[in-house]
Every structure is written in C-alpha cells, then in structure tokens.
C-alpha cells in the first residue's frame, strides 16, 4: 500500500472504529470522563492525541459528540489552558 492509501484507511476505517470505542467508554461511565468524575491521564492522553490530529483533520470529532465534549472540557480546564498558553515551543 502506498502512504496515501494507508492514511485514507486510517481516517476512514481505523480512526472511526477507535473513536467509537472512546464514545462507548465515555457513555458507559456517564460522567463525561473516562474514569470516575474528574480529569485523569486517560482524558489527557486522548485530548493530546486529538488536539494534534485536528491540526490536519479539524472535523475528526464531529461525528462523536461525547468525545468532542470531553476534548472541549479538557481544553477549558484553567490549568490545562494556562499550561498550553505558556509552555515553551518544542524544538522542531
């Protein structure tokens, strides 16, 4: 497979499958978070992954409202927001 086919398969098959898993976990917990009723490393990990993915795929969470709501909740956390706004850029 060429790279373009792999990317297409990832975006159209693999990613929606895993987003469905994340959606189901969030719905099962019914608190808006993966574990318990507050922010955990699991929430931060998905937030970071999707934040980076949305740079090139801005609509990636549009079909998964509970996942999108989680990322918005994490992004609006004052400590997370402060960190993101004030961290030093990573070397490129």
Instruction: Tell me if 71 is assigned to some domain.
Output: yes
Q: What is the pLDDT of residues 37-49, one digit of tens each?
A: 999 999 999 999 9
Say if 92 falls within a structural domain.
no
Q: Is 10 a member of any domain?
A: yes
Tell me the residue range of the domain where 40 lies.
3-86
Residues 6+ apart with CB under 8 A from 36: 29
Mean pLDDT of all residues in 69-91: 94
In a domain, 41, yes or no: yes
pLDDT at site 1:
65
CATH number for the domain that contains residue 82: 1.20.1050.10
The Cα-based distances of 78 to 16, 24, 40, 74 in angstroms read: 30, 27, 15, 9
Overall number of domains in the chain: 1
**pTM > 0.85:** yes
User: What is the end-to-end Cα distance of the chain in Å, rounded?
Assistant: 29
């Amino acid at each position: 497979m060429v790279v373009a086919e792999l990317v297409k398969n990832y975006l159209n098959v693999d990613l929606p499958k895993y987003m469905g898993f994340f959606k189901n976990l969030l719905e099962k917990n019914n608190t808006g978070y993966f574990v318990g009723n507050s922010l955990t490393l699991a929430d931060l990990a998905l937030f970071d992954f999707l934040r980076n993915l949305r740079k090139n795929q801005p609509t990636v969470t549009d079909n998964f409202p509970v996942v999108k709501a989680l990322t918005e909740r994490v992004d609006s956390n004052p400590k997370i927001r402060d960190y993101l706004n004030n961290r030093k850029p990573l070397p490129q």
